[in-house]
């Protein structure tokens, strides 16, 4: 077998198949699923960030608002649902509260708990950025059928992006959940 471009050693077809490659017998950046996902993820991230600038929120703020659109949560439950450290959640909520997009209040049944809910301004911002995200998704996935989009969604939902079990508990030390 001749060496691949760049002078690296050739790989077998089995290696290419196990990492999502084709039948050519070589492994390049386009045949490595993780690199392909990173490249497309970076592109999607940049386009989403650009689209969200018109609504004045970051992707993390948008995700918080989207979770709150389904109803109010305790601050602890919201943090667990988002998979973020409590200090990160406080910073996110402070920024959103400063812009009157969310409201925090004490739970009357348990004064130690804070209830977080979206405001009217938050719902209006969400309507605006949801439309912007939908436009980006239409452009990104224009070449995919509805069924292919569904399959991609299902597969990506199963990709492990955290260390196994590291985020399973809210008290896991030294994790970036």
Per-residue burial over 77-98, b = 16 or more CB atoms within 10 Å of its CB, e = otherwise = ebbbebebeeeebbebbebbbe
The Cα–Cα gap between 152 and 156 comes to 6
Per-residue burial over 155-172, b = 16 or more CB atoms within 10 Å of its CB, e = otherwise = eeeeeeeeeeeebeeeee
Per DSSP, 99 falls in state: T
Per DSSP, 122 falls in state: H
Write the CB contacts of 143 (distance below 8 Å, at least 6 apart in sequence): none
Topology (CATH level 3) of domain 46-146? Arc Repressor Mutant, subunit A (1.10.10)
Is the pTM higher than 0.85? The answer reads: no
Domain boundaries, the chain: 46-146
Write the CB contacts of 68 (distance below 8 Å, at least 6 apart in sequence): 78, 102, 116, 117, 118, 122
pLDDT digits (tens, 9 = 90+) for 79-135: 999 999 999 999 999 999 999 999 999 988 888 899 999 999 999 999 999 999 999
The C-alpha angle with vertex 154 and arms to 152 and 158, in degrees rounded to 5, equals 110
% pLDDT > 70, the chain: 76
Confidence of residue 165 (pLDDT cuts 50, 70, 90): very low
The C-alpha angle with vertex 129 and arms to 81 and 175, in degrees rounded to 5, equals 30
């Amino acid at each position: 077998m001749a060496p691949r471009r760049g002078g690296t050693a050739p790989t077998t077809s089995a290696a290419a198949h196990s990492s999502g490659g084709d039948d050519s017998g070589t492994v390049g950046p386009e045949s490595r699923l993780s690199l392909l996902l990173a490249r497309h993820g970076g592109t999607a991230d940049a386009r989403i960030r650009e689209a969200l600038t018109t609504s004045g929120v970051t992707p993390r703020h948008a995700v918080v608002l989207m979770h709150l659109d389904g109803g109010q949560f305790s601050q602890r439950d919201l943090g667990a649902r988002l998979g973020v450290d409590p200090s990160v959640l406080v910073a996110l909520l402070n920024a959103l509260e400063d812009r009157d997009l969310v409201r925090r209040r004490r739970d009357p049944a348990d004064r130690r708990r804070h209830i977080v809910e979206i405001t009217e301004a938050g719902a209006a911002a969400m309507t605006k950025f949801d439309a912007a995200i939908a436009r980006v998704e239409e452009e990104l996935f224009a070449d995919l059928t509805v069924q292919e989009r569904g399959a991609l969604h299902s597969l990506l939902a199963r990709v492990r992006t955290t260390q196994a079990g590291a985020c399973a508990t809210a008290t896991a030390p030294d994790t970036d959940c």
